[in-house]
Amino acid sequence: MQKLLSPSANQMLPCDTALPLGTNSKCFLIFTYLVIVAGYSHAQVYRQEGKNRYTFAQTTFGYDLEYTPSGGFSYYRNAQNQLQKIPIGNALAPAISITGLHFWGHAEFFTTFSLPDIDLVKDATHGEYQRFSSTGFKYFVQPVRISKLSPYIGMSLSSFSFKQANGVQMKRADGSLLGGLAYSFKKGMLEIGCNYHYKNRYRYYISPTENIPVKVPPFSVSVDYKYFFDLSLSSLKRERSGALQNEYTLLKKRKALSSISLALGPAYSFFCKSSVYNKTYKPFLDDHRVSTVYPDIGIGYYHYKLDATVNLSNRFFSSTLTAYGFTQQVKRNSLALEAYKFLGDYHGFVPFVGAIASYEKFRVRETENGVETFKRTYEFISPGFIAGWDIRPTRTDWWGVRTNIRFFPNLSLAMPGNSKMNMQQVELNFLQLILYPGRIIAVSSKK
């Protein structure tokens, strides 16, 4: 790791997001990202310019299609009140993929944004099984090269849902083992692989009192075609021409190396513990396990000399469970004060760690057959931890891309019956755009 002091070659990075679900915030971020990378399509820059800081990583943008065969099963009670086995699967899950090739074509970090699933079975008795977005990494045994096959192995974290008849929509996040082949063209590459979802057995309530074993399909096949993008060559040219040094001198003169930061990106939460309240009183409602996508909005201040940031972030979402006439809705609004320190730099991959003090506001509402049975608002301060990394072209640039991983270990809500609803969660935001308006003003204003 090298300490960052001035805009030298040791502070450049190919401006690639090396990193996960359908919503307005997601579409906005993808649009913003495409605006940034538009017009910067290149072939593999590490083949053209050699292995250096500027060719360490490269972005791709593409389309992914995952097919899940009928490899799982569930049960339902037929007209004779007997349990009958039914298959689960046979669905297509299209998605938009954004990835980053790293280590000069040896590794790929990816995230996908799901589009509406295509269910290939039109039988009302079978369960509705859908796979959603995923994020993970792939390691290419042979680095990606034009007109060459590159086998890969990897892992991912993805989510799925299963719903049967009037039961709850059960959401889960699972880990997957990946394997496949990639073939690179001049302007893009094709990946074909198999995904093994090793945690695939669950229990599901087919009535308020009866649960049955469910096995979700353990295997799926994915095809992904993606185009290459790159912004690193512009940084290389700016350094060679002396433009980067001139920008640094100007920002230092105008005291704009430190700057206010604005942030926006999509995030989602994984809940770490089962709810004691639901398990005891309403087991058929399952648990709040995976949230929908929600916006992660931040305003902060970056201190150049300390290489540290103070940030005020706002995230909010709603999670609803519905089954057999019962509905449980949880709304969360979190306003968090965060302080974190960047720790070194590896080709522009800059990790950070920090602490959080968050003002939490939860609203819980329950209804039974349309009649409200419980409603309460909770407000409190909760500690948390934050870690992640920035992908930044230079330390003096006006923008960057950030990954935030937040953990809140003490989120629990008092519920009737001297019970608790556990809301401990890990928040993931793998693609947050960071802007530094102070630098934009300093560079663009008249000298």
CATH (domain of 182): 2.40.160.20
Residue 333 lies in a domain: yes
Question: How high is the pLDDT of residue 196?
Answer: 95
- Write down which residue in 194, 229, 264 finishes a domain: 229
Same domain? 203 vs 323: no
Considering the entire predicted model, what is its pTM?
Answer: 0.81
For residues 301 and 260, is the Cβ–Cβ distance under 8 A? yes
220 and 281 together in one domain: no
Q: How many angstroms separate the Cα of 437 from the Cα of each of 297, 302, 393?
A: 15, 11, 16
In this structure, the answer to whether residues 186 and 271 fall within a common structural domain is no
Helices (H) and strands (E) in the chain, counts: 6, 23
Using DSSP, state whether 42 is helix, strand or coil: coil
Using alpha carbons only, what angle is made at residue 398 by residues 303 and 427, rounded to the nearest 5 degrees? Answer: 70
Where are the extended beta strands (E) located within 141-258?
149-163, 170-184, 188-197, 201-205, 211-215, 219-229
CB atoms within 10 A of CB 375: 11
Instruction: Tell me whether residue 283 is in a domain.
Output: yes
Segment 402-422, tens digit of pLDDT? 989 999 998 999 999 899 999
Task: Give me the amino acid identity at 328.
Answer: Q
For residue 90, the enclosing domain spans 41-229
135-184 pLDDT, tens digit each: 889 999 888 888 889 999 999 988 898 999 899 999 988 889 999 999 98
Tally of structural domains, the chain: 2
350 with 434, same domain? yes
Per-residue model confidence (pLDDT) at position 182: 93
One domain for residues 336 and 431: yes
Q: What is the pLDDT of residue 307?
A: 95
Q: Is 174 found in the same domain as 266?
A: no
- For the chain of 447 residues, list the mean pLDDT of each consecutive stretch of 10: 34 33 42 43 53 70 89 90 89 85 84 76 70 87 87 91 91 91 88 93 94 94 86 72 87 92 90 89 92 91 96 95 95 97 86 97 96 96 95 83 91 92 89 91 78
The CA distances from residue 222 to 95, 136, 215, 219, in Å, are: 10, 14, 20, 10
Burial 300-332 (b: 16+ CB within 10 A, else e): bebebeebebebebebebebebbbbebbbbbeb
259 and 225 in a common domain: no
Angle at 265 (CA atoms; ends 40, 318), nearest 5 degrees: 150
Which DSSP letter does residue 26 get? H
271 and 216 part of one domain: no
- The token duo for 64 is 């992914």
